[in-house]
Amino acid sequence: MATGFRARHLAVVGLGLMGGSIALALRDYVDKITGIDSNQVTRDYAVEHGIVDEATDDLYEGVNHADVVILAAPVRVIVEMLRMQIGTYLRSNTLLIDIGSTKSDIVDAMANLPIGINAIGGHPMTGKENSGIEESDALLYRNRPFVLCSSRRTTPAARLRALLLVETLQAVPIEMDAVRHDQIVAGISHLPYLLSATLVATIENQAKTDGAYWELAAGGFRDTSRLAASDVTMMGDILSTNTKAVATLLAQFRMQLAMLETMLIAGDDQNLSETLKPIRTARKEWAKNYENKR
Amino acid sequence: MATGFRARHLAVVGLGLMGGSIALALRDYVDKITGIDSNQVTRDYAVEHGIVDEATDDLYEGVNHADVVILAAPVRVIVEMLRMQIGTYLRSNTLLIDIGSTKSDIVDAMANLPIGINAIGGHPMTGKENSGIEESDALLYRNRPFVLCSSRRTTPAARLRALLLVETLQAVPIEMDAVRHDQIVAGISHLPYLLSATLVATIENQAKTDGAYWELAAGGFRDTSRLAASDVTMMGDILSTNTKAVATLLAQFRMQLAMLETMLIAGDDQNLSETLKPIRTARKEWAKNYENKR
């Protein structure tokens, strides 16, 4: 695929599932890939499996000669890197993209990078049950939405280059501002995580006196509770950088839940059923229009 | 497999996924199977595909000569059949099992059946994404929990015969009283459904002004919202026959959610993380000890 994306030297900061997969997907379009990670086992794995050409735990050394840098670390680590030193490490005209799960704090931090650094926020809507460099997959991004959020350091040329990069990953670029992005992911990702975790906490509390809760739990519980097994550090980072949007969605969720509960307790079966029907339709329409097409 | 279960004439009332699958699984252990269903297309399908030997829409005719009758209909239909006429249709010493999703109302109704009818409540913890007779699967029950709840009409011999039937389905029989069953399923099934439906309602409300909610929703939303696509009639039946247990669990859920929300809004990341960690562990332990073994 000749999308036009090319880089001389790509640096990927953070060699996890996401960073490793980007490196694999961009392999044929860059001359050299450097991986930066604090974990030696991870670095060795990435080099031995040809995911990167070289790896280091030295951020300066790793990014200093790159013309494209991807920050694939947890949100608060990315924010920290942007605020502290990375701007001064980069060559002028470098394209800097992050793939953190919330965007407002990151795009705000990008605004204070030195002029000449071309920075844009990114959020690929993909993942896998298991994380880690050994799960890297060149097709992880294919057909998945990849949100791009411009910052005060996004030049028109940088934006186009980022779009080409996203297309080279075979992802679907979607541009929007960071605040809107964070509101949306609060609804489709952070709220579901909190519900999932709270469900597990509720059942765990019950199961203290009756182990049959765990024994009988089946497919419905499995799906609804799956997100509760997400990495706590990552989710803590995400929630703490998106508190306002999450709290707003939680308030709306409570309102909707109270409505259903009122009908349930009142025995208003007719109304309950009339309320649940369009919800069912909405879920089925979503699956038909989006999920099943991926 | 010689489990010892035998029947001369099995009647399955309700030819959906669950009833059809029971008929298929018991095929080799009974001399004759009659299916009872109000839908002619369903009856024709069941006979043409050898799921049952004959089918009728006449409840009396269908169950009158059977020595084992399985009620595989929505909960309130089962309760209605038990209260109205089915007791007088059955021969003395018939084994009557239902597979409704809540058990208290059903087991209460069984208590008033004529003496001589041996009735026991059942709830197989299994299912499929799609329903209907054409989804029937002889292995649907294999390795899945099958709860049995005794009623005032459960003789010791009937209980043993029901256990043999469950083993013939290759399911795992779990005996408990109906009230306890209903509390447990309120937690592992009905509460998850309500959360799932409320999540979809919340997102739908947001999506009215921003379609990108649907567009960006990915795997986390998919899993957490899956139950919202459940059949509304079935779920309405289930909720309305388990209101007290569901309302109790909802109150506990709200308490747990408020705790997490307080930490989130207060910015108490340390405490939030310490609370989420054991929740993650509990979910992973459940998957390891139960889900992954099935």
3-state secondary structure of A27: helix
pLDDT tens readout for residues B160-197 = 999 999 999 999 999 999 999 999 999 999 999 999 99
The secondary structure element, H or E, covering residue A77 is helix A75-84
pTM of the model: 0.92
Low-confidence residues of chain B: pLDDT under 50: 1-2
Q: Give the residue from A75, A149, A232 with the most B CB atoms within 10 Å of its CB, the best one to mutate.
A: A232
Residue A120 has pLDDT above 60, yes or no: yes
ipTM, interface predicted TM-score of the complex: 0.92
- Contact (CB<8Å) B243/A264: yes
A268 touches chain B (CB under 8 A): no
pLDDT tens readout for residues A225-234 = 999 999 998 8
> Which strands sit side by side in the sheet containing B54-56, from one edge to the other?
B54-56, B30-36, B7-13, B68-71, B95-98, B118-124, B145-150, B172-175
- Cα end-to-end distance, chain B, whole Å: 20
The mean pLDDT value of chain A amounts to 95
Domains of chain B and any CATH numbers: 7-176 (3.40.50.720), 181-293 (1.10.3660.10)
- Contact (CB<8Å) A287/B222: yes
Residue A149 has pLDDT above 90, yes or no: yes
For the ranges A54-58, A259-263, B123-127, the lowest mean pLDDT is seen at B123-127
* Residue keyed to tokens 């035998």: B6
What is the rounded CA–CA span in Å between residue B215 and residue B91?
58
> Which residues, numbered 239 to 258 in chain B, qualify as contacts with chain A under a Cβ-Cβ cut-off of 8 Å?
239-240, 243, 246-247, 249-250, 252-254, 256-257
- Contact (CB<8Å) A232/B269: no
- Contact (CB<8Å) B221/A260: no
Residues forming beta bridges with residue B175, ordered by sequence position: B148
pLDDT at B1: 45
> Which residues, numbered 182 to 221 in chain A, qualify as contacts with chain B under a Cβ-Cβ cut-off of 8 Å?
183-185, 187-189, 191-206, 210, 212-221
B142 touches chain A (CB under 8 A): no
Which tokens sit at A221?
């519980």
Tell me the mean pLDDT in the region A226-249. Answer: 95
Q: Which are the contacts of B288, defined by CB distance < 8 A and separation ≥ 6?
A: none
* Residue keyed to tokens 């939405």: A145
Cα–Cα nearest to B140, from B16, B32, B2, B49: B16
Task: Report the residue of chain B nearest A127, measured CA to CA.
Answer: B219
**A47 to chain B nearest CA, in Å?**
30
B156 touches chain A (CB under 8 A): no
- Contact (CB<8Å) B205/A256: yes
> Which residues, numbered 110 to 129 in chain A, qualify as contacts with chain B under a Cβ-Cβ cut-off of 8 Å?
125-127
Return the amino acid letter for B81: M
- Contact (CB<8Å) B273/A233: yes
pLDDT at A291: 80
**A174 to chain B nearest CA, in Å?**
9
Residue A128 has pLDDT above 90, yes or no: no
What is the rounded CA–CA span in Å between residue A143 and residue A124?
10
